[in-house]
Chains A and B, each alone.
Chain A
Amino acid sequence: MTLQNSNRSNTLSCAEFQEQLPDLFAAGASNGHISDPDLLEHLRSCTNCTALVRDLQYIADQAKQLLQPTHEPSDSVWKKIQEGLSSEQGYSVLPDKK
């Protein structure tokens, strides 16, 4: 499928539409929140770009669940912190419990 005739709307090509996406997403504009009539027109008529915007928004939304941590440092990290503080500032009373 060529760039020129792929899902081309009357106003914008897919390439032209997709070039705007970094700024659109940065401005918080996902599907349904785009005000530029040319971009909206392309989105209405192009299933490919609609799917792209939907997927990218989905990925951004799903990323938020990664804020919850999944990994735990080994016990040696806390031991080294204790040692580090003891040696440089004389804090020798840091408890063992984590």
Chain B
Amino acid sequence: MEVQGLQMTEPTTAPGLFKRNPPIAGEAEAIERAKAGDAEAFSKLYALHKRRVYTLCLRMLGNVSEAEDMTQEAFLHLFRKIGSFRGESAFSTWLHRLTVNLVLMHLRKKGLQLVSLEETINPSEEDSPKRDFGSRDTQLAGSVDRVALERAVASLPPGYRMVFVLHDVEGFEHNEIAVMLECSTGNSKSQLHKARLKLRELLRQSEPTPQADLKEAAL
């Protein structure tokens, strides 16, 4: 699939992708009908996937208006290109790849096209995670709920957030991310590691302290 210069091919099936994106009831039939131009079937595909596509756009862009515009673009592209979906990967994986490419193209058009993302996604020194050679042994495991994690991800510097969402949330491999972001695989690994370090920092900061708990209990 060609998306204004971006090659949209179906990925070779990565382990776990079908497991993470299991087929949805009625989806296969809707895809086949939509391929034949059935508008009702396309409407069903929109209903099935709008939330995940929009959530992906919102996480990548951090802006409601832009995320809605890109959701619209993604489904318009889907309608035009659905005939090229061959079912070699989960439909949602294919749709998400299409969406990611559109969002990245949008970001490049906004000003990132002059320099590669590899150079521009590096955050400022103050946004970088602190190196951790201390001995504090606060256990994070078990203490983080979905809302706290969502909030922490939203506050990551854009480059870190992009790689984290693509790898840890969406399940893309480093070599796929490297192609999408036009950076090296090593850079993708490094950005992901820094993203997780930064998240650890942010999540630790948001943890309630015993003193705060006591104050809250006293009120």
Q: Judge if B135 is at the interface, Cβ distance under 8 Å.
A: yes
Size of chain B's interface in residues, with CB distance under 8 A?
Answer: 54
Dominant secondary structure at the A interface: helix
A77 engages B137 (CB within 8 Å): no
Report the Cα distance A97→B43, complex, angstroms.
7
Report the Cα distance A47→B133, complex, angstroms.
11
Contact mask for chain A residues 44-79; partner B; CB cutoff 8 A; 1 contact, 0 none = 000110011011101110111111011111101110
A69 engages B54 (CB within 8 Å): yes
Q: Which residues of B contact A95 (CB under 8 A)?
A: 39-40, 43
Q: Which residues of B contact A7 (CB under 8 A)?
A: 133, 135
Of A1, A6, A25, A51, which one neighbours B139 at CB under 8 angstroms? Answer: A51
B interface residues (Cβ-Cβ under 8 A, vs A): 20, 37, 39-40, 42-43, 46-47, 50-52, 54-55, 58-59, 67-68, 71-72, 75-76, 79, 131-141, 144, 146, 149-150, 153, 164, 168-171, 174, 186, 189-190, 192-193, 196-197, 199-200, 203
